[in-house]
Amino acid sequence: MILKDKVILVTGGTGSFGKRFVKTVLEKHAPKKLIIFSRDELKQFEMAHDIGSDPRVRFFLGDVRDKERLFRAFHGVDIVVHAAALKQVPMLEYNPFEAVKTNVIGAENIINAAIDQKVGAVIALSTDKAVNPCNLYGATKLCAEKLFISGNAYTGEAVTRFGVVRYGNVVGSRGSVVPFFQSRRHTGVLPITDDRMTRFWITLDQAVELVLTALRRFKGGEIFVPKIPSMKIMDLAKAIAPECKTEIIGIRPGEKLHEVLLTEEEARHTVELDDCYVIHPEQYWWADQKPAQKTALPADFRYSSDANTSWLTPDQLMAMASGSSAPSTGPARK
């Protein structure tokens, strides 16, 4: 058990992922201490009430923009899971400087504090929006990915290793389409930006398992991409509210028709495993850690939501939307 008797800190620990990660780790992985680091005192108060009086849990108020607070919070920490981010695309298009301060400068602060405090491992959460980004949110997450990967070159004799997990839309997370559709059922009409749209789909439990998998496997510098199913936006609308009509309103600024988790360029230095792809860095400092053998990907391989070989049925979408786990049906390459 990689987390047994470890001190773990989760930035953005009061978010959808953070709460599920904390619950899973406390129930199954026997940590020595688990620190929830976030900036919202009300959410921390509510989370503390839900958890109860577990002596292993600590709550730290702070912002990833504040490097001095991070330096203090990281003292004695073995593992950091970095989930804090600003992520609402329209809001960030209108408030771009705020996105950079949290998602980019915050990433730099995490890296520096982790190295200085000799944190053993840092896993940062990323998104399919970081691949060929067309909005500011995606651009900041791409930049953060690059910072965390290159952070491995800054460690020197320090023990710190940095890795990234990159995945798609999380079912039921705050601001996602599922609660939005559910909130509009009473109107009888669901607004659809484009009826051709597809997305990768992952549950919170799957996202947590991906992070745990990365912690078990990574050497430092890898990006872990899960094999997850796709869904069609029209199938989701029918699954959630079959009685509703749909209204096409047009693609919003910064929105894509389809998402990509792995590009042709990245495929050249990617290892395929049974449950995920592992993108290895191309930097010189990775040369000694490259695996002797790997499963070669086709020269033109591209992992995109519209060309996926695993699709969720309406029944599976309904089960996921209602809170059930997703089927473990990772896409097989053609």
How is the chain split into domains, by residue range? Answer: 7-170+202-228+260-304
Choose among 130, 132, 24: nearest CA to 81.
24
- What is the predicted pLDDT for the residue at 333? 39
- How is residue 151 annotated by DSSP? G
Angle formed at CA 40 by CA 39 and CA 43, multiple of 5 degrees: 135
Q: Annotated catalytic, 129?
A: yes
Q: Are 150 and 283 in contact (CB under 8 A)?
A: yes
Q: Beta partners for 224?
A: 165, 278
- What is the predicted pLDDT for the residue at 329? 44
Beta 57-61 vs 33-38: how paired, if at all? parallel
- What is the predicted pLDDT for the residue at 332? 39
- How far apart CA 192 and CA 245 sit, in angstroms, is 10
Query: CA separation (Å) from 274 to 22, 198, 226, 236?
Result: 26, 24, 10, 27
Output the CA torsion 88→93→96→102 (10° steps): 10
Q: Cβ of 293: how many Cβ atoms within 10 Å?
A: 6
One of 3.50.50.60, 3.40.50.720, 3.40.50.300, 3.40.50.970 is the CATH number of 7-170+202-228+260-304, namely: 3.40.50.720
- How far apart CA 42 and CA 82 sit, in angstroms, is 20
Q: Are 309 and 333 in contact (CB under 8 A)?
A: yes
- What is the predicted pLDDT for the residue at 299? 79
Please tell me whether residue 200 adopts helix, strand or coil conformation. Answer: strand
Could you state, in chain order, the average pLDDT of each consecutive group of 10 residues for the chain (334 residues)? 93 95 96 97 95 94 98 98 94 95 98 97 97 95 97 89 94 75 88 93 94 95 95 89 91 88 93 92 74 69 94 84 53 38
- What is the predicted pLDDT for the residue at 323? 62
Output the CA torsion 299→300→301→306 (10° steps): -170
- What is the predicted pLDDT for the residue at 172? 67
Lookup result for tokens 């796709």? 230
Choose among 166, 200, 177: nearest CA to 329.
200
For the record, the structure tokens of 37 come out as: 């680091």
- How far apart CA 35 and CA 33 sit, in angstroms, is 7
156's enclosing H/E stretch is none
- How far apart CA 127 and CA 138 sit, in angstroms, is 8
- What is the predicted pLDDT for the residue at 204? 92
- The percent of the chain in helix, strand and coil, each rounded to the nearest 5, is 40, 20, 40
Lookup result for tokens 């309406």? 314
How many residues in the chain? 334
Q: Which of 6, 129, 141, 232 is catalytic?
A: 129
